[in-house]
Structure 1
Amino acid sequence: MLGLSVGLVTIAALGVGACLGWEWSASAGNRATTVAGARSAPVAIVFGTELDGRGTPKPMLANRLDTAVELYRAGKVRALLVSGDGGGNSGDEVTAMTRYLTGRGVPAAKVVADPSGLDSYDTCVRARDVFGVRRALLVTQDFHLPRAVALCRHVGIEADGVGAGCDRCSLQRLWRSRTREVPAAVKAAADAVRNRQPAVVSPRDSALDEAVRS
């Protein structure tokens, strides 16, 4: 019985290791460059996450958005795609993200929202299929970037990561987020192998094309 348990644990550990290995291999290169070091792209994709009790971005999300503002001001991107859960437990992520960006001087015409980016895989697939993204800078924290970059590259987007900081993030929040990346890597690999459809399938939307051109 003990031998069986050890065997199962070993198999599980090897499986997790394989998923993490795929993630890091697929995201090799620019996983977490700086704003200054980023190569230009038509669009930056900002991944959503929790809001606070007032419906405004918590520090983790605020840092992602601040990095996106820097990219736009530096001329590294011509438009911003904010992708998250429009009906999340903490509120409408993409509306809060859009409001935050426009409140810091990004023209509303340059911000496009996807309220059906329910997880990182869905964000990447929908960026490609709904918004026609072929090259993008991905904006999130360094612990999330390998997964985000691997998934977007898997679905055919030429993606580089730009690491956002986490000023004012609690140690507990950081620890929880980093720990979460282990099971998330397994799910990401499974989604990639299955080429899973996103939870919400939508027709092609030209809003981002127009934002890039404007």
Structure 2
Amino acid sequence: MGNRKILLRKIFLRLIIVMFIIIALIVIVIAVINIYMKSVTSSKILSVDECKDMDADCILVLGAGVAPSGKPTWMLEDRILTSEELYNVNASPKIIMSGDHGRVSYDEVNTMKDYAINDGIPSDDIFMDHAGFSTYDSMYRAKEIFGVKKIVIVSQKYHLTRALYIAKKLGIKAYGVSADKRDYLAKQKYRVFREWIARAKDFFKLIYKPEPTYLGDKISLEDSGDITNDK
């Protein structure tokens, strides 16, 4: 009986060691992927002034949530404001608002477009991507639905690394502009942690490049952005 307990204890300890080794390897892989992504995208993050007269196909604004009041969250508001600055320095004549509009009760894209229109951006120049359910989906659809080849991506800096890497792997010439206009203290540490995991997830996803959640008909940026209106 005593020998059996000793044997079980040894087996248990070995399992614990194996688990720690596996966890350590996973952490190392995630860290390496994050370092690599940052190294290949950091030079593509520019200021608004550096994007002046860039003449990109579009300015792509990634969704970041709508508050219960129906207004954009602080992060999303800052992304919209940054896209307006880029539009006004001729970074591109077109803006794509890409976000989650998968149900009637939650609508990021109309919230984004309405905000920009209220600030004086012409409705004709603002397109809505109603199926930008993830960063990957937004990038994939920007290329396959809207036909973009050169874009300026607007998001907070912590998120731009992944967005730029996805664009690069999908064959899009992309630059990023940070929309960090204030401190986002609430849950920001959690967002950064989650982003580390998301980078690793999309790194492997980009090996086989699956279609996004939804595709649909192609939309030309030569047309009016109002063709994407659903109201």
* 1:15-58 alpha-carbon deviations (Å, 9 max, x no partner): 21232134224424122x21012261231000001110121101
Give the alignment partner of residue 53 of structure 1, picking from 57, 68, 80.
68
Higher normalized contact order (CA 8 Å, seq sep 6+, divided by chain length): 1
CA distance in 2, matches of 1:81, 1:94: 9
Report the counterpart of residue 212 of structure 2 in structure 1.
Answer: 198
* 1:147-202 alpha-carbon deviations (Å, 9 max, x no partner): 000001110110000010142x5412322221221111122112211211101021
Give the alignment partner of residue 110 of structure 2, picking from 95, 102, 105.
95
Report the counterpart of residue 92 of structure 2 in structure 1.
Answer: 77
**Number of paired residues?**
209
> Would you say 1:143 and 2:175 are equivalent positions?
no
Aligned ranges 1:121-132 → 2 under 5 Å = 121-132=136-147
* 1:52-74 alpha-carbon deviations (Å, 9 max, x no partner): 01211010000000000001111
Q: Secondary structure at the match of 1:70?
A: helix
> Would you say 1:210 and 2:223 are equivalent positions?
yes
Give the alignment partner of residue 33 of structure 2, picking from 9, 15, 19.
19
Retained in 2: the 8 A contact 1:44–1:137?
A: yes
Deviation at 1:90, TM superposition (A): 7.4
CA distance in 1, matches of 2:184, 2:41: 27
Retained in 2: the 8 A contact 1:26–1:153?
A: no
Relative to total residues, which structure has the larger helix share, 1 or 2? Answer: 2
For structure 2, the 5+ residue unaligned runs are: 1-13, 226-231
Please tell me whether Structure 1 or Structure 2 has the larger radius of gyration of its CA atoms.
2
Give the alignment partner of residue 117 of structure 1, picking from 124, 129, 132.
132
Taking only the aligned residue pairs, the percentage that are identical comes to 26
Retained in 2: the 8 A contact 1:78–1:211?
A: no
Code of the residue aligned with 1:44 in structure 2: it is I
CA distance in 2, matches of 1:90, 1:149: 30
Code of the residue aligned with 1:114 in structure 2: it is D
Report the counterpart of residue 184 of structure 1 in structure 2.
Answer: 198
Deviation at 1:107, TM superposition (A): 0.0
Q: TM-score, normalised by structure 1?
A: 0.91
* 1:101-136 alpha-carbon deviations (Å, 9 max, x no partner): 101000000000001011001101100000000000
For structure 1, the 5+ residue unaligned runs are: none
User: Closer, same or farther in 2 for the Cα pair 1:106/1:162, shift >3 Å?
Assistant: same
What is the RMSD computed on CA atoms of the aligned residues?
1.8
CA distance in 1, matches of 2:200, 2:30: 6
Report the counterpart of residue 153 of structure 1 in structure 2.
Answer: 168
CA distance in 1, matches of 2:224, 2:88: 15
Retained in 1: the 8 A contact 2:75–2:184?
A: no
